[in-house]
Structure 1
Amino acid sequence: MIPIRTIATSLAAIAVAAATPALAHPRLLRAVPTQSGTASNVREVRLTFSETLIAPLSGFDVVMTGMPTPSPSGKHIAMKVSGIRASLAPDRKTLRASLARPLPAGRYDVNWHAVSTDTHRISGKISFTVR
């Protein structure tokens, strides 16, 4: 026979586990420009996530990783695009940055990091080409 104390403890543990919400990390749902896409006249970068983000802990950098015409050495040094400041859109799930002028032709990486209410930082990268 199982003691009542064991049954009560087991039921309490099940109740606590069921009441605790599953902690999920935000996932990147959409990017503009799109991952591996080709775009022109890029004046804004937007990343939309599955969860509400914490603004001061989330953001991105845009890095030019390749130019349309190679340098004489055949190498291109990755250059961070200056003047880009990501902020949260009113939906609090979209990071966006408006650019003062369109990005010049080349290949780009957007290196992002995001923190939602679970407080775990995740990061990733999308790449695209501007023609």
Structure 2
Amino acid sequence: MLKSFFPSAAAALALLVAPVATSAHTRLVGSTPAAGSTVAKTTSVSLQFSERLIPSTIRTSLVMTGMPGMDDHAPMKIPYSSAMGKDGKSMTLMLKRPLAAGTYTLSWSAAGADTHRMGSEFSFTVK
């Protein structure tokens, strides 16, 4: 009786674990500048993801959200071009000009192999 229990328990455990392994979603695992950091002159932003991205699903936005000495600064979109890394898991935003002192928010969304669009945002400060 005990012998027949273990194969059944192993099969049930495999069914419970299998969906978890296949339901991973794309997430941002690193960036330069890092979330919450304060940096000097910046001419690019690098993003590293947990898996290869589907290029047609990638959306990014870089916005200046605060400027020193201007309490009522309206959000201002920052122009840039972008390039995917050869690994398909990274990308670089090349800024048209270095970022001025202020606070910035980068938003992203993309889908990986599971085709579920994920996204988030983070902020950093340029001194």
Q: Give the TM bin, normalised by the shorter chain.
A: 0.7 to 0.9
Residue from 117, 121, 124 that aligns with 2:117: 121
The aligned counterpart of 1:107 is 103
CA contact (8 A) 2:53 2:110 kept: yes
What is the RMSD computed on CA atoms of the aligned residues? 2.1
Give the ranges of 4+ consecutive aligned residues of structure 1 lying more than 3 Å apart after TM superposition: 16-21
TM-score, with normalisation over the residues of structure 2? 0.80
Q: Which runs of 5+ in 2 are unaligned?
A: 1-7
Q: Is 1:76 matched up with 2:55?
A: no
Q: Which amino acid aligns with 2:120?
A: G
Check conservation: 1:48, 1:94, Cα contact below 8 A.
yes
Q: Which amino acid aligns with 2:23?
A: L
After superposition, the C-alpha distances for 1:38-94 in whole angstroms (9 at most, x for unaligned) are 011111111101100011211311000000111xxx311111112x13331111101
Which structure shows the higher helix fraction? 2
Residue 87 (str. 1) matches residue 79 (str. 2): no
In 2, Cα distance between the equivalents of 1:19 and 1:62?
37
Question: By how many angstroms is 1:19 displaced?
Answer: 7.3
Whole-Å Cα distance in 2 between the matches of residues 116 and 86 of structure 1? 18
Distance in 2, matches of 1:19 and 1:76, equals 49
Q: Name 1:27's counterpart in structure 2.
A: 27
Larger Rg: 1
- Please state whether the residue corresponding to 2:22 is helix, strand or coil: coil
TM-score, normalization by structure 1: 0.78
Is 90-99 or 19-28 further displaced after alignment?
19-28
Report the equivalent of 1:66. 66
Relative to total residues, which structure has the larger strand share, 1 or 2? 2
Task: Measure, in 2, the Cα distance between the counterparts of 1:125 and 1:19.
Answer: 30
Q: C-alpha separation between the residues in 2 aligned to 1:111 and 1:87?
A: 16
Distance change >3 Å, CA 19–CA 31, structure 1 → 2: closer
The answer on whether the counterparts of 1:60 and 1:86 sit within 8 Å (CA) in structure 2 is: no
Cα deviation digits, residues 20-42 of structure 1 (max 9, x gap)? 76121012110110101001111
Give the distance between the partners of 1:75 and 1:110, measured in 2 at CA. Answer: 20
For 1:7, the equivalent position in structure 2 comes to none
